[in-house]
Amino acid sequence: MLTGVKLSVTPIQLDEKDARLEQVHKLVNSHVLHGSESLCKMLQYLANQATHHPGASVKEYQIATEVFGRPPDFDPHLDSTIRVQAGRLRSKLAEYYAAEGAQDHILVELPKGSYALSFHERAHEIRSSDANPAYQSPLEIAIAAQPVRKWLAVVIMSSVVLAAVVAVATDRFLVRRAAHAQLSSNVPSVPAVFEVFWRGFVTGPQEPWVIFSNAAFVGRPDAGMRYYNSSKDARARVLDYYTGVGEVLAIHALDDVFAQLHQGVRVKRGSLFSLDDAKNNDLIFIGSPIENLTLLEIPNTQSFVFQRITSGVSEGAMKITNVHPQPGEAKEYIATPPTESLAEDYSVVALKRGLDATHSVLILAGTTTIGTQAAVEYVSQKSSLEELLRRLSVSESGELKPFEAVIRVKVARGVPVGTELVSLRKD
């Protein structure tokens, strides 16, 4: 039994408190929640809050720091873990009451849009004879007064019992159907290719880390900024809290994918990332190693390498170098020159082993922020994932192994509108 969050004395009546505690205990030890320690801790904590402070709202930050041990700088706008876990808990509660909890007297619910747990009693009809043992129904009086008509009383009594049985059965059927409907609405079907591609990131004991690039800049947002250059900006004030539009939209796309897979993620900007994080977690890097500098310290791409362009109209921009070009492949992939409207970009999608071989590193990066967005969208859509797995010869029951790929991105008005897989390497 989990003991992470204790339920203590509450201001509500003792018998009601005991009934709630017993119901939460049943849920925590049910088959539905078996093995879901994080959900059990969340359920116990919310039950404790509902019992101690009925009617009070529970904040996402409060759950993150007090239940899941998130640091004080936890930002719910960047980390959707609590929202995802709440959705999982709602699904599990619905699943429980649709099956092994169908007979339970107390219903525990987590309403959508709220973290305030609620308790409800099932409605049961109370017969007058149950409420007052001395009470005699008109039917009983009739039976006593008219023995000759006992057969009629028996028929009537049987009809009443039958009607009650039908009513109870109907009530249970409707409750189960409602629970199944809620469960179905909360758990949309997940494409099989999602489960194959993302399996390594949803089966570990910890949520994967999503590390987005936030390169070092100098200058001022209102007057213009540029990348930090150590040779001439040693004394300049560094701005390390900016990222691209593509990275922002990429995080949103990943959040949606992991919500479908019922898995939370932890989001962190690259400048705050450490090697300790790399050793102990599965990682998803959003952005190239030119901006996501911690990528330079862990296993990185070997076939397709990001490099700065040193001359020509695109000087200073990034390119993807094809280290060992195969017949028909380009030696390097370069986006539309910065002097023109962006119409074409290139991105890398690569799965690598981490510092610890039991962990995985996924790199999603373009030569521009729009290319980075396209790389994430590529692994967030069913059609493109089907193409990638087909090219990798991975079946729906197969295992995804490390690879590196380059995709061409078509851009219109600053939005990625099409992708094409142009080069692929299997490790």
Q: Give tens-digit pLDDT for 386-396.
A: 999 999 999 87
Closest Cα partner for 109 from 99, 95, 119? 119
Residue 4 is predicted with a pLDDT of: 44
Flag whether pLDDT at 6 surpasses 90.
Answer: no
pTM of the full structure: 0.58
Residue 349 has pLDDT above 90, yes or no: yes
- pLDDT at residue 286 greater than cutoff 90: yes
> Which has the minimum average pLDDT: 67-81, 288-302, 326-340, 369-383?
288-302
Query: Hey, where are the domains in the chain?
Result: 1-125+149-187, 192-426
Output the CA–CA distances (angstroms, integers) from residue 215 to 226, 245, 283, in the order listed.
10, 13, 18
Pairwise pLDDT comparison (379 vs 207), residue with the higher score? 379
Is residue 118's pLDDT more than 70? yes
pLDDT of residue 378 exceeding 90, the answer is: yes
Note the pLDDT of residue 3: 43
pLDDT, residue 98, reads: 86
**pLDDT computed for residue 163 by the predictor:** 53
Both tokens of residue 236?
Answer: 């300049």
Question: What digits encode the pLDDT tens for the residues 160-172?
Answer: 455 554 454 545 5
Helix (H, G, I), strand (E, B) or coil at 263: coil
Question: Regarding predicted confidence, which is higher, 289 or 58?
Answer: 58
CA distance 151 to 155: 6
Residue 384: half-sphere exposure toward Cβ, Cα within 13 Å: 20
Radius of gyration over every alpha carbon of the chain, rounded to an integer in angstroms: 30
State the pLDDT confidence band at 294, using cuts at 50, 70 and 90: low
- Tell me the H-state helices in 235-341: 245-260, 275-280
Is a pLDDT exceeding 70 seen at residue 154? no
- For range 340-352, the mean pLDDT: 95
DSSP state of 73: T
Among 182, 192, 164, 227, which residue's Cα sits nearest to residue 89? 182
Question: In this model, does residue 174 exceed pLDDT 60?
Answer: no
223 or 393, greater pLDDT = 393
> For the chain, how long is the longest CA-to-CA vector?
113
Task: Check residue 138 and give its pLDDT.
Answer: 45
In the chain, the percentage of residues whose pLDDT exceeds 90 is 31
Closest residue by Cα to residue 392 from 362, 423, 352, 420? 423
**198 against 95, higher pLDDT:** 198
Q: Which of 69-83, 251-265, 364-378 has the lowest mean pLDDT?
A: 69-83
pLDDT of residue 38: 85
Least confident range from 265-279, 310-324, 412-426: namely: 265-279
Where would I find the H helices in 53-149?
60-66, 81-98, 128-131, 138-145
The two structure tokens encoding residue 206? 């910890």
* pLDDT at residue 298, as a whole number: 63
Question: Tell me, what DSSP letter sits at residue 116?
Answer: -
In this prediction, residue 337 carries a pLDDT of 94
User: Could you give the count of Cα atoms lying within 13 Å of 11 in the half-sphere of its Cβ?
Assistant: 6
Q: 321-352 burial string, b = 16+ CB within 10 Å, else e?
A: bbeeeeeeeeeebbbbeeeeebeebbbbbbbb
Let me know the angle formed at the C-alpha of 252 by 247 and 258, rounded to the nearest 5 degrees: 120
pLDDT higher than 60, residue 356: yes
Handedness of CA 162, 163, 164, 166 (dihedral sign): positive
pLDDT of 130 above 60: no
Mean pLDDT, the chain, integer:
80
Does 137 score more than 50 pLDDT? no
* pLDDT over 50 at 11, yes or no: no
Range from 8-12, 121-125, 195-199 that averages highest in pLDDT: 195-199
Range of lowest pLDDT (107-116, 141-150, 316-325, 328-337)? 141-150
Torsions phi, psi for 377 (to 5 deg): -65, -30
Instruction: Find all residues with CB under 8 Å of 317, minimum gap 6, and list them.
Output: 308, 309, 334, 335, 337, 338, 367, 368
Q: By the 8 A CB rule, do 228 and 218 touch?
A: yes
Residue 300 predicted with pLDDT over 70: yes
Q: How far is CA 281 from CA 155, 202, 215, 356, in A?
A: 70, 12, 22, 9
